[in-house]
Amino acid sequence: MKNIDTYTNPLSTRYSSPEMGAIFSDRVKFTTWRKLWVELAKAEKELGLPISNEQIREMEIHVEDLNLDSAEVYEKKFRHDVMAHIHAFGDQCPTARPIIHLGATSAYVGDNTDLIQMRDGLEIIRFGLVNVIRNLRKFALEYRDLSTLGFTHFQPAQLTTVGKRACLWMQDIVMDYHDLRYVLSTLRFRGVKGTTGTQASFLSLFEGDHEKVRRLDEMVSRAFGFPNAFIITGQTYTRRLDSRIAAFLSGVCQSLSKMSNDLRLLAHLKEVEEPFEKSQVGSSAMPYKRNPMRSERIASLARFVQSLETSLSFTASSQWFERTLDDSANKRLSMPQMFLATDAVLRIAGNISAGLVVYPAVIRKRIMEELPFIASENILMQAVKKGGDRQILHEAIRSMAQEAGWKVKTEGAENDLIKRIRESDLFELDTKELDSFMDPALYVGRAPEQVDEFIASEVDPVLDKERSCPEIVVKLDV
């Protein structure tokens, strides 16, 4: 049963995946602290410090055996969360107590755990991006040559295709994927650096042996899957890394919010809809409503992530010298919530992109309402080829188009521009010739070919690289 007596974060209870929630859970956080203490002790022992196998085994036994009640009591006493957990762990490991956290500062467990969590969170984001790209690739190919009215300024423009429009969405997401690969490839561990990043405490422990200190840093970093650690840190790793990751997460949400906005407009036009389940209710008052609630949820959560990006950028810009603690509470809130919300956005986008519904008849009806205007330039060129005066014919079409548009807007009449041209003495074009200009496929340019080229050159290389990425079927409970 849910706890209804205190606030719970809807990102955890309603929107994000259990996998992402687990990464940023207290269990993962505090067991990772203990794993960091274990690996530090192992490396220090291997490099010659008097630490016994018994002490290490004792610590390993209690890594998962969290005594959080004890830690909570200690934190009330010390007003320091890391010290509280050192003492709580020490209570369980009396033999190892003297060497837990040896030479380290709080950022050793705090920062390195944050980096592990962010790295693992980015992997889940990677899966989500690949899933959406796969879905949109399939959709784009299926509708590569289905003509649709293009819009600029949300006003009718030249035709494109449904598949080409999906490639516009996919292009942004592919850009996000490449940004992710860069962020992951440059991600470093804080490692073992001491209180102000100089490693002075470890240099003292190893009696001035710089090589052992360097190896200690390397050994601990690699134990957690990081081939490289920051060479330079203050007490903390640079918070510019946090703002870089925040910018990436914001970018993902920008891309998917743009897609969701287009889908909301298309739903209004009744051309393309997100999945709508048989028993789904669009409105408590209006039974006929089919609100694009999934797309709206993307827009809402994406806006939240984009707003949090500024919080991490302010934090990065306001750090003092080797560190200041005004990053801690902010980071504790902002970063996990950015990951959970971005994960939620990707889950919803995965659900939508796998189940988009297209209505070709509505799309064609809207095209045919505008096609006489769009075809007018081709009609003009054909009439000139038959001996007409280009300037006179241009003015005639312009005038007839204005009149036809006026009747559409004021009377709700059909667009009769073709009929006006047919009946005009200025144009020597018969019905068959005029009808030949009313094929929408004539006006999509290279849109179908662009779909093929884009997928072959930019999408398929990504998916080939991600062949091992699991297929994800996203079912939304709410």
pLDDT digits (tens, 9 = 90+) for 100-145: 999 999 999 999 999 999 999 999 999 999 999 999 999 999 999 9
> Does 10-99 carry CATH code 3.40.50.720?
no
Q: Which positions are annotated as active-site residues?
A: 153, 283
User: Angle CA(26)–CA(28)–CA(31) in degrees, nearest 5?
Assistant: 100
Per residue in 199-221, pLDDT tens?
999 999 999 999 999 999 999 99
Distance CA 356, CA 140 (A): 11
Q: What is the pLDDT of residue 83?
A: 97
DSSP 471: P
Token pair in block for residue 1: 């049963």
Token pair in block for residue 191: 């490692």
Instruction: Judge whether residue 223 has pLDDT over 50.
Output: yes
141 HSE (CA, 13 A, CB side): 12
Instruction: Judge whether residue 284 has pLDDT over 70.
Output: no
Distance CA 71, CA 75 (A): 6
Q: Which long-range contacts (CB under 8 A, 24 or more apart) does 429-435 make?
A: 429/379, 429/382, 429/383, 429/386, 433/382, 434/379
H helices present in 52-156, as ranges: 53-61, 68-78, 81-92, 106-142
Q: What is the pLDDT of residue 4?
A: 79
Q: Position of tokens 């036809």? A: 404
Instruction: Judge whether residue 476 has pLDDT over 60.
Output: yes
Domains of the chain, residue spans: 10-99, 362-443
The span from the first CA to the last CA of the chain, in angstroms, equals 17
Fold classified for 362-443: Ribonucleotide Reductase Protein R1; domain 1 (1.10.40)
The residue among 227, 189, 217, 188 whose CA lies nearest residue 103 is: 217
Pick the most confident of 153-157, 283-287, 344-348, 400-404.
Answer: 344-348
Distance CA 247, CA 306 (A): 8
Per residue in 406-465, pLDDT tens?
999 999 989 998 889 888 888 888 888 888 899 999 999 999 999 999 999 999 999 999
* Average pLDDT, integer, range 150-156: 95
Question: Residue 282's pLDDT band (boundaries 50, 70, 90)?
Answer: low
Q: What is the pLDDT of residue 434?
A: 87
Per residue in 154-173, pLDDT tens?
999 999 999 999 999 999 99
Q: What is the chain's length?
A: 478
Q: What is the pLDDT of residue 451?
A: 98
| Beta pairing partners, 151 | 156
Question: Residue 279's pLDDT band (boundaries 50, 70, 90)?
Answer: very low
Instruction: Judge whether residue 13 has pLDDT over 60.
Output: yes
Q: What is the pLDDT of residue 430?
A: 83
Instruction: Judge whether residue 285 has pLDDT over 70.
Output: no
Residue pair 191/227 in contact (Cβ under 8 Å)? The answer is: no
Which range has the worst mean pLDDT, 44-58, 63-77, 253-267, 403-417?
Answer: 403-417
Distance CA 239, CA 114 (A): 11
Q: What is the pLDDT of residue 464?
A: 97
pLDDT, averaged across the chain: 94
Which range has the worst mean pLDDT, 4-18, 271-285, 448-462?
Answer: 271-285
Per residue in 389-411, pLDDT tens?
999 999 999 999 999 989 999 99
Maximum separation of any 2 CA atoms in the chain, in Å: 105
Does the global pTM surpass 0.85? yes
Distance CA 195, CA 364 (A): 68
126 Cβ partners below 8 Å, 6+ apart? 177, 180, 184, 466, 469
Distance CA 229, CA 223 (A): 12
